[in-house]
Amino acid sequence: MAYDYAPFPYIAPPGLAAPEPRHPVIIVGAGPIGLAAALELANHGVRSVVLDDNNVVSVGSRAICWAKRSLEILDRIGVGEACVEKGVTWKVGRTHHRAKEVFNFDLLPDPGYKMPAFVNLQQYYVEEYLVTRCEESDLVDLRFKNKVVSVDQGEDCATLSIETPDGPYTLEAEFVLACDGAKSPIRTMLGLDFEGELFEERFLIADIEMEADFPAERWFWFEPEFHSGQSALLHKQPDNIYRIDLQLGWGSDPEEEAKAENIIPRIEKVVGHSDFKLDWTSIYTFQCRRLKRFVHDRILFVGDSAHVVSPFGARGGNGGLQDVDALGWRLAAVVTGRAPRALLDRYDAERTYGSDENIMNSSRSTRFMSPSDGADRWFRDATLALASHAEFARPMVNSGRLSMPCIYPINAPDAPGLPAVSRPGSVAPDAPQGNGWLLSMLGGQMTVLAIGQPAPDGIEAITLEPSPEITARYLGDEKAAIYLIRPDQVVAARWTKADAATIQAQIDAIWEGRA
Amino acid sequence: MSLITAKNIEDHDGAYADLLAAHRGLDTEASAALNARLILILMNHIGDRAVLREAIDLARTSGT
Ligand SMILES: Cc1cc2nc3c(=O)[nH]c(=O)nc-3n(C[C@H](O)[C@H](O)[C@H](O)COP(=O)(O)OP(=O)(O)OC[C@H]3O[C@@H](n4cnc5c(N)ncnc54)[C@H](O)[C@@H]3O)c2cc1C
């Protein structure tokens, strides 16, 4: 069943009648990233205004693969369970070369995590759930059909000019989050540019609706018989919607290719029949680029406005949610006076690092999928040829390395006997706790975990008994440990033994932006 | 371990002849493809990223 794009209501903003008081945070853009940022700030008690020039959710499925970390973040802001319930949980990927399967992976359901490895769900559903949540929140003021047309930064605030169906008005904010997407008008207004690579490749992306029993797996083809010399992807979404991506090559004419009479025969060849309905199509050019810096005084870039990657690693939507994760608690602390502005530089450092990792992975996949003539193509073809003869070449076949949260290179106390999965800089692994989950207990606070030992005097901590999951993920060979977890659930430091002063010094360093 | 640059194959003339024999009758493109497969196979056999880097460096700087 095709999605019903019901428009959200426009309500005349108070600023049209009389100047509004200065807002702590204004978010430009109600895509998944802007909406998630508003809810994350609300979790930390910070009010925001969200402005969007449009009044419907994302047209077309766009970002469809939501990774475990994203689902955990979405869960913290109240929509994770809805996404998992509606979405298609999948774990198997199959990669074919011509008619032969050359590589497959199974993201085994690792028990003892609340969230699955991946869920496929159209971006419009994720946005719909986020909008509902924002409307329920007293701390989020969501304004559709409010288009930002200019921005100005002064000593103590930023000023936005906004156009509405009832005319223009202005707003002041201490901080502006530019969540206005890949074509970010705010980026242009500031005269900033992306740096990085544009690949000469085009993909056709289509959502089709059909009754079929294709398994909930990711199917990728290199040079399939049905699409000569190119690549193709088929991925299942809820509501009998399937996503098909077809490589077109740079020589193709995008306008010509986008015509239904050219698209339909191609898809017929993929699915083997013509009993489907074309729901949405788009042509996608590959880019792997980012802004040099994400923080520009009072204007902070988050999501696609800050970085864009080619789609096959699911790093667009997922990468943006990790920005939100890294920014929310820090911005809340700055706005409420808990921390100095320097804390925002840590957002910049961590997310430009994360973005580089995403760009590196996406560029590698793109080079494999769409090799330029010469060495790139020789080695790509050699890998594909070897894959059906030698095991080592199979994992080298690169149809996209799926998004994983990056491990931040933080310089923090660590103890050698503790397991690698929870080393400082990693997201704290989830684990069952009673009837619930560890990550829900952590919430979004700075938390000390005392595992297998009491908390040191003077330190407030959650004490955990070493269950099998806790032992595997947090203790390894040790009997006891102390973990310091940041509000974004990233492990900040860990010790086998630590006194209150040591722990407190580390907490202070984090709030002061030194760690 | 570091890259072995001293003689390391007992019958080097024989091994060299095997390499040429594998390319015999191939056009330039097929030869390039064979070389690419061969390099990937040998890379995997060596398995040590540091050694591979040394090898790549040597190949790159010894062309003139
Ligand atoms: C065709 C297509 C296919 C894609 N496929 C995939 C995929 O398969 N996998 C994947 O991970 N990602 C995919 N992406 C990328 C994914 O959609 C983005 O990473 C994700 O939407 C980023 O979210 P965002 O909130 O940063 O930006 P957007 O979702 O782009 O949201 C930006 C919002 O800002 C609003 N806005 C813009 N200018 C103004 C203004 N002046 N004033 C007020 N509001 C403004 C826009 O209306 C929009 O609502 C795809 C994108 C496209 C376009």
Tell me the β-bridge partners of A218. Answer: A93, A235
Q: Tens digits of per-residue pLDDT, B26-61?
A: 999 999 999 999 999 999 999 999 999 999 999 999
Q: Could you tell me the residue ranges of all domains in chain B?
A: 27-64
Residue nearest to atom 4 of ligand 1 (CA): A62
What is the C-alpha to C-alpha distance for residues A459 and A482, in angstroms, rounded to an integer? 11
Across the interface, do A381 and B36 touch by the CB < 8 Å criterion? yes
Q: What is the predicted pLDDT for the residue at A403?
A: 85
Q: Which of A386, A388, A389 to mutate to test the interface with B (most CBs of B within 10 A)?
A: A386
User: Hey, how many other C-beta atoms are within 10 angstroms of the C-beta on A129?
Assistant: 23
- Residue tagged 């010094």 (tokens): A505
Q: What is the predicted pLDDT for the residue at A311?
A: 82
Across the interface, do A385 and B37 touch by the CB < 8 Å criterion? yes
Residue A340 structure tokens: 């100095």
- Amino acid found at B10: E
Q: Which run of H or E residues covers position B39?
A: helix B28-46
Q: How far is the CA of A61 from the centre of ligand 1 (A)?
A: 11
Ligand 1 pocket: which of A180, A257, A282, A284 to mutate (most atoms <8 Å of CB)? A180
The domains of chain A, with CATH numbers, are: 14-88+118-193+289-359 (3.50.50.60), 420-511 (3.40.30.120)
Q: What is the predicted pLDDT for the residue at A197?
A: 87
Q: What is the predicted pLDDT for the residue at A270?
A: 85
Task: Tell me the torsion sign for CA atoms A469, A475, A478, A482.
Answer: negative
> Could you give the C-alpha distances from A439 to A169, A434, A443, A476, in angstroms and in order?
42, 12, 6, 19
Q: What is the predicted pLDDT for the residue at A256?
A: 87
What is the C-alpha to C-alpha distance for residues A199 and A221, in angstroms, rounded to an integer? 20
Positions in chain A whose pLDDT score sits under 70: none
Q: What is the predicted pLDDT for the residue at A258?
A: 81
Q: What is the predicted pLDDT for the residue at B17?
A: 98
Q: Does B35 touch chain A (CB under 8 A)?
A: yes
What is the C-alpha to C-alpha distance for residues A322 and A64, in angstroms, rounded to an integer? 16
